[in-house]
Each structure stands twice: as structure tokens, then as C-alpha cells.
Amino acid sequence: MNAAPHELASWGRRLAALALDGLILGATIFAAVMLAGVSVVELNDLLVDGDTVVLLALFVLPEAIYDTVMIGSRNQTFGKMAVGIKVVGADDRAPIGYARAFRRWLSTAALWALFTVPGVVDHLWPLHDRRNQTFHDKFARSVVVRT
């Protein structure tokens, strides 16, 4: 059964896409670190020590680039493609482009940086929003729809 054009994506589909993207990014980063010759023990030590440069290089930058480039160019990440959803403008259902895709990612990162609770609330917000929007969708003036 095909979705109606621009039917809002369910929270479940959004969650599944987020989980898939997390697995994709995690596996890619882990493979890159191993190919660079860093052992699991060394990686663990760097993460436990809270090395800011390592944390930025392994978690913040890859996600920023992945989300911004994929959504800016294709309206979808690989996880969103897999579950049949995409990000579009809230008013015109047009592609949001790189600047708004980055704003969307940055607002998500900022909410998670505020000690987890705001990030969790952000991702649960579509359950109570008439347009199924998160706060980061509202900041970027976007919605997530079925493809």
C-alpha cells in the first residue's frame, strides 16, 4: 500500500530510521578507527578520558556531515530511505537544502548537549504534536513525510 503524497511519517518510522542511522554511523566510525590502527583498548581509554578532540572527531563531526549532506542533497539519510520517509519544508513540502539541514542537525545536537533530557523530550515530542514535529523540525521549519 502506497502512502498518500506528503503523509506525515509516524513516530515509529522516525525511531526506526534513527536507530538504523545510528548503526550505520557507528559501524562506519568503528571500521575507520580500526583501519587507522587504533585498538579497542586505546579507543576505550581515549573515550573514558573524555578527550574532547576525539569525541568531536568520532561523534559530532561524522554525524553533522552525514545528516547535513544526506538531508541537504537527498532529503533522506540511509535510515530514512530504508523506512520510506524524508525531510521536507513544513510549508511547501520542498527540499530544505543544506543550510536548513545543518540547522536541523545543530538544534538536535544542542538539545542533546543539554544533559540528555532535552534531547529525549525532543525525540518524543512528535507523539504529542499535530504535525509529528520534533523541536529540531520546528527550528528548521521541516516535517518528515512518507515517500
Residue 1 has pLDDT above 60, yes or no: no
Q: What is the mean pLDDT of residues 95-109?
A: 96
Among the residue ranges 62-76, 85-99, 105-119, the one predicted with the least confidence is: 105-119
At 2 the pLDDT is 59
Any idea where the domains of the chain sit in the sequence?
Answer: 11-146
pLDDT of residue 74: 97
**How far, in whole angstroms, is CA 18 from its chain's centroid?**
6
Query: Band of the pLDDT at 114, cuts 50, 70, 90?
Result: confident
Residue-level pLDDT at 53: 83
The pTM assigned to this predicted structure is: 0.87
Q: What DSSP string describes 64-121?
A: HHHHHHHHHHHS--HHHHHHTEEEEETTT----HHHHHHHHHHHHHHHHHTTSHHHHH
Q: Strand, helix or coil at 143?
A: strand
* pLDDT of 77 strictly over 80: yes
pLDDT in tens, 134-146: 999 999 999 999 9
Choice between 11 and 114, residue whose per-residue pLDDT is larger: 11
